[in-house]
Amino acid sequence: MDNGRLMGEWIEYIAARAVLGFLGLLPRTLARFAGVQAVRVLYLLRPPLWRAAHWNLKLAFPEWSAAERRRVIRGVIKQVGWMAGEFAHFPDYTRENIDRVVLLDGFENFAAARERGKGVLFLTGHFGAWELAPFAQALFGHPLHFLARPIANGRVNALVNRYRCLSGNQPIDKNRSARAVLTILHQGGTVGVLADHNSSREEGVFVDFFGIPACTTSGLARMALRTGAAVVPGFLLWDPAIRKYRLRFDPAVELVRTGDDERDIQENTARFMRVVEDFVRRYPDQWLWVHKRWNTRPPGEPPTYPF
């Protein structure tokens, strides 16, 4: 590694530590406020982010006005900024105080799925303070493993994972996940999967998302069909009425099994995406619109994004 790159990685690491340390020293309310201001500046300084957000909202809600799109994007900025503040305060959250921040909703659905004894695949997405979902679940007494793509900067990756794992969870390298996930599920464990982002053609299948073919990870369906694990939708959503997050569990998704492996993978992946889309439609200002969800296209189809 050349000296310039090494220096850059150290600067990134020191900056990440400084930000987490600063936000962690602030009271939670101020940390969330500071997080919003930081995300707002980042959003304005990164044209690809706001271009993707506006374009995605045009695709998903073509009937919306520009003002409606801007309102939703302001909500997304607020949610991501709040998550930064929450993440910095992970060392402060315990089994005794987590219910001041997160309320379990529909936990009986998760419990029923776990009682099947074949493991649980936690179908989730980039909603609200999504990093808080598995962290809180562990503090409520139900730790899990979660798939995560490693951050390129190894020092930053280790720092982030240290915070993520303070409540007892364990990460699984998304690039080397198959054997580890199978082992955990056979032991009756739980694995969290963020399944709402764009995948490569090699890793995914095309299913409709807001009526547009979107390349979506097929791994979740493959693992569920192979192991018999229950796929339980679970999303962390901010509830302004109670000023807490709700960690909402829905009943396990009923899997299609026709005996045709590829057809079953396609149909079950489509079912999972319909669950995600339903939540996005209900809480559009809490989903991460800045990601190019429709970036990978079927062969011969032109690019979705003109930038």
Q: Per-residue pLDDT averaged across 253-282, rounded? A: 97
User: Please, are residues 205 and 93 in contact by the beta-carbon 8 Å criterion?
Assistant: no
Residues 125-179 pLDDT 10s: 999 999 999 999 999 999 999 998 899 999 999 999 999 999 999 999 887 788 9
Q: Is residue 64 part of a domain?
A: yes
What pLDDT, on the 0 to 100 scale, is given for residue 48?
94
Residues 67-125 pLDDT 10s: 999 999 999 999 999 999 999 999 999 999 999 999 999 999 999 999 999 999 999 99
Q: Per-residue pLDDT averaged across 10-23, rounded? A: 95
What pLDDT, on the 0 to 100 scale, is given for residue 175?
77
What pLDDT, on the 0 to 100 scale, is given for residue 1?
56
Q: Is residue 108 part of a domain?
A: yes
What pLDDT, on the 0 to 100 scale, is given for residue 141?
96
Residues 176-192 pLDDT 10s: 788 999 999 999 999 99
pTM of the complete model: 0.94
What is the domain extent for residue 273?
3-286
Average pLDDT in the chain: 96
Quote the CA–CA distance of 306 and 52 in Å, as a whole number.
10
Angle between helices 66-88 and 3-25 (to 10 degrees): 90
What pLDDT, on the 0 to 100 scale, is given for residue 178?
87
Quote the CA–CA distance of 69 and 284 in Å, as a whole number.
10
What pLDDT, on the 0 to 100 scale, is given for residue 177?
81
- Compute the residue count for the chain: 307
Q: Is residue 56 part of a domain?
A: yes
What pLDDT, on the 0 to 100 scale, is given for residue 221?
98
Rg of the chain (C-alpha set): 19
Quote the CA–CA distance of 147 and 149 in Å, as a whole number.
7
User: Please, are residues 232 and 190 in contact by the beta-carbon 8 Å criterion?
Assistant: no
What pLDDT, on the 0 to 100 scale, is given for residue 119?
97
Q: Is residue 22 part of a domain?
A: yes
What pLDDT, on the 0 to 100 scale, is given for residue 241?
97
As beta bridge partners, residue 246 has 103, 237
Q: Is residue 296 part of a domain?
A: no
Domains held by the chain: number: 1
Q: Is residue 235 part of a domain?
A: yes
Q: Is residue 292 part of a domain?
A: no
Q: Is residue 291 part of a domain?
A: no
Residues 38-60 pLDDT 10s: 999 999 999 999 999 999 999 99
Residues 272-304 pLDDT 10s: 999 999 999 999 999 999 999 999 999 999 999
Q: Per-residue pLDDT averaged across 228-238, rounded? A: 98
